[in-house]
Structure 1
Amino acid sequence: MNIIGRLTRDAQVCKLSNEKHVVNFSIATNDSYRNKQGERVEQTTYFQCAYWISPKVANFLTKGTLVELSGRAYTSAWIGKDGEPHAGLNFHTSQIKVHSSGKRNESNSNVSNKATQKKNEKPKSNKNDKDDDLPF
């Protein structure tokens, strides 16, 4: 199954007692349809996601990032501390494609700005150049 959505919070890496790591994050998917009255209805579905393959992926999974996930969906139900029943959708992710970034990394932004500035700078003339060689 594939789902596409935006992260609702930054991913977190949890280290388990068996020395394995899991990356936990949540995404929101949006859908819209027209009801019987012809009104447009927006529907948002939230998934709690887990990725077990590499904890390094958490560096790219920041709030607002648009991702496409492959894996399997399942439901969970529990009784909360308040005694009320709760249910949720979970997604066990086996593959992640990042389509756009949520937060811009300031250091990357600064590096690209400096590169753009250098590119736009006029080269400094060398005083040792001989102007006599110019055809005009």
Structure 2
Amino acid sequence: MEITGRIVKDASVFKLKENREVVNFTIAINDSYKPKDSTELKKITTYINCSYWVSSKSAKWLKKGALVELFGRIGLNVYIGSDSEAHGALTFHTSHIKILAFAKDREQTPEVRKGAKASSEKEPDDLPF
């Protein structure tokens, strides 16, 4: 199965028994549809929890805003909660990640980028031409 979406929060690495690590992250998939007998376009966003077991080194590239294409399978976690009710959650178990667009560097402000002048060094606006 293949899904494409944007990462909504930086990925996190969890250490488990026997030196195993898993990378967990969530993506958002935007979609739209027109209800029957309506001209209004409805927009919906679906959030999908994902796990990646292959390499924890990939977590440094899985930052908020990155557009990713994921290949894998859907898993279902079912459990009995403290309220004695059955609960379930879907997780996309990723086997391959393709980064389509890297996240923008949030440490740099829009005014100051590498190689650009700082906002205080801008040309004056009162030039005669």
Q: What is the TM-score of this pair, normalised by structure 2?
A: 0.73
Rg comparison, structure with higher value: 1
Change in Cα spacing, 1:32 to 1:85, as seen in structure 2 (3 Å) is farther
Contact preservation (8 Å) 1:22, 1:51: yes
Aligned residues: 113
Deviation at 1:77, TM superposition (A): 3.5
Contact preservation (8 Å) 1:47, 1:88: no
Structure 2's unaligned 5+ residue stretches are 118-129
Which residue number in structure 1 is paired with residue 105 of structure 2?
A: 104
Which residue number in structure 2 is paired with residue 16 of structure 1?
A: 16
Deviation at 1:47, TM superposition (A): 1.2
Q: Distance in 2 between matches of 1:44 and 1:98?
A: 20
Which structure 2 residues correspond to residues 21-60 of structure 1 after superposition, within 5 A?
A: 21-38=21-38, 39-60=40-61
Output the amino acid matched with 1:59.
K
Contact preservation (8 Å) 1:46, 1:89: no
Contact preservation (8 Å) 1:65, 1:100: yes
**Percent identity over paired residues:** 47
Structure 1's unaligned 5+ residue stretches are 118-136
Aligned Cα root-mean-square deviation (Å):
2.4
- What SS is found at the alignment partner of 1:43? strand
Match status 1:95 vs 2:101: no
Deviation at 1:75, TM superposition (A): 2.8
Deviation at 1:42, TM superposition (A): 1.6
- The structure that is helix-richer by fraction is 1
Output the amino acid matched with 1:54.
S
Q: What is the TM-score of this pair, normalised by structure 1?
A: 0.70
Q: Distance in 1 between matches of 2:86 and 2:65?
A: 29
Q: Once the two structures are superposed, what CA deviation does each residue of 1:52-110 show, in whole Å capped at 9, x if it has no partner?
A: 11111000001111110000012334455566654332100011011112241648xxx
Q: Distance in 2 between matches of 1:94 and 1:72?
A: 8
Change in Cα spacing, 1:84 to 1:52, as seen in structure 2 (3 Å) is same
Which residue number in structure 2 is paired with residue 5 of structure 1?
A: 5
